[in-house]
Amino acid sequence: MTAIDSARAIIEAALSEFGGSLAVLTSFQREGIVVADLALQADPGIPVMTIDTGRLPESTLKIISSFEDRYGVAVERILPDPFEVNAMIEAHGRDLFYDDVALRRLCCNVRKVRPLARRMAGVEAYLTGIRRGQSDSRANVEFFDRAGSPVKISPLADWLPADVASYTRERGLPEHPLYAAGYTSIGCDPCTRAGVAGEDERAGRWWWENDAAKECGLHFTADGKTERTVDVLLRDILTKAHV
């Protein structure tokens, strides 16, 4: 079975299991566009969602618009709670993520993890573009991750970069312009830089953190000590945001 056939079979299985309670979650990197393209072929009505943290590069916002034009769909933007964002900025500044890993995780929690958790409350499963080869922390990603709720499905888990590139080329899919500028993984504007030859694909994310896993907490959590520190910081923000 080819990589494409395998991904199609996984998406078909997901649709038959979860039907109308399945969504695509994409950040409009290459893999996310491939998954959305495959899913929309299988079900043109499947919801496509993205997390708009408020710190995305302008080029990401443009590629979302061009994706909507191409497919004739409205991408749902999942937004952070403005009260939580304001409380965080008042307490720690807008660019708090450069100060230490726990503050960076706090920002990812407020701008990504919490908004997604709120939105996913009524969703049983979602499709992602995660590949095992993207980093060590993703090396054991399963096609169907049923450990939490919603179920996370990664039809491209076993794809190689060449599979993504050839599918993108053959389908004439839009490509994020930052790839042409040397980026190998694209997230929020202040937290992403171009890759350097020989680096892990996600090394350009939070590049100033030498030892931390290059994850925002959507797919993998931090070590216990960082998690506890983030919990304390988050409690403080939530108290201020919802008084």
Asked if residues 36 and 67 have their Cβ atoms less than 8 Å apart, the reply is yes
Tell me which of 4, 38, 188, 213 binds ligand SF4, using CB under 6 A: 188
Q: Give 34 or 116: the residue with its C-beta nearer to ligand SF4.
A: 116
Phi and psi angles of residue 125, each rounded to the nearest 5 degrees, phi first: -155, 150
- Is residue 53 close enough to count as binding ligand SF4 by CB under 6 A? yes
216 catalytic, yes or no?
A: yes
- Is residue 187 close enough to count as binding ligand SF4 by CB under 6 A? yes
Q: Give 142 or 227: the residue with its C-beta nearer to ligand SF4.
A: 227
Beta 125-127 vs 151-153: how paired, if at all? parallel
Total residue count of the chain as it appears in this document: 243
Cβ neighbourhood burial of 33 (10 Å; 0-12, 13-18, 19+) = buried
- Is residue 152 close enough to count as binding ligand SF4 by CB under 6 A? no
Tell me which of 78, 88, 107, 116 binds ligand SF4, using CB under 6 A: 107
**Token pair 């030498």: residue:** 210
Shortest separation between residue 216's beta carbon and ligand SF4, angstroms = 5
- Is residue 35 close enough to count as binding ligand SF4 by CB under 6 A? no
Q: Give 30 or 104: the residue with its C-beta nearer to ligand SF4.
A: 104
Beta 76-78 vs 125-127: how paired, if at all? unpaired
Residue count at the site for ligand SF4 (CB under 6 A)? 13
Contact region with ligand SF4 (CB under 6 A), list: 31-39, 149-157, 183-191, 226-234 = 183-191
Shortest separation between residue 190's beta carbon and ligand SF4, angstroms = 6
The token pair at 143 is 């096609």
If residue 24 lies in a helix (H) or strand (E), which one and from where to where? strand 22-25
**C-alpha–C-alpha distance, residues 237 and 235, integer Å:** 5
- Is residue 112 close enough to count as binding ligand SF4 by CB under 6 A? yes
* Nearest alpha-carbon partner for 28 in 138, 175, 164: 175
Contact region with ligand SF4 (CB under 6 A), list: 4-12, 122-130, 168-176, 185-193 = 185-193
- Is residue 111 close enough to count as binding ligand SF4 by CB under 6 A? yes
Strand order, beta sheet including 151-153: 76-78, 48-51, 22-25, 125-127, 151-153, 144-145
Q: Which positions are annotated as active-site residues? A: 216
Residues within the interface to ligand SF4 (CB under 6 A)? 53, 55, 97, 104, 107-108, 111-112, 187-188, 190-191, 216
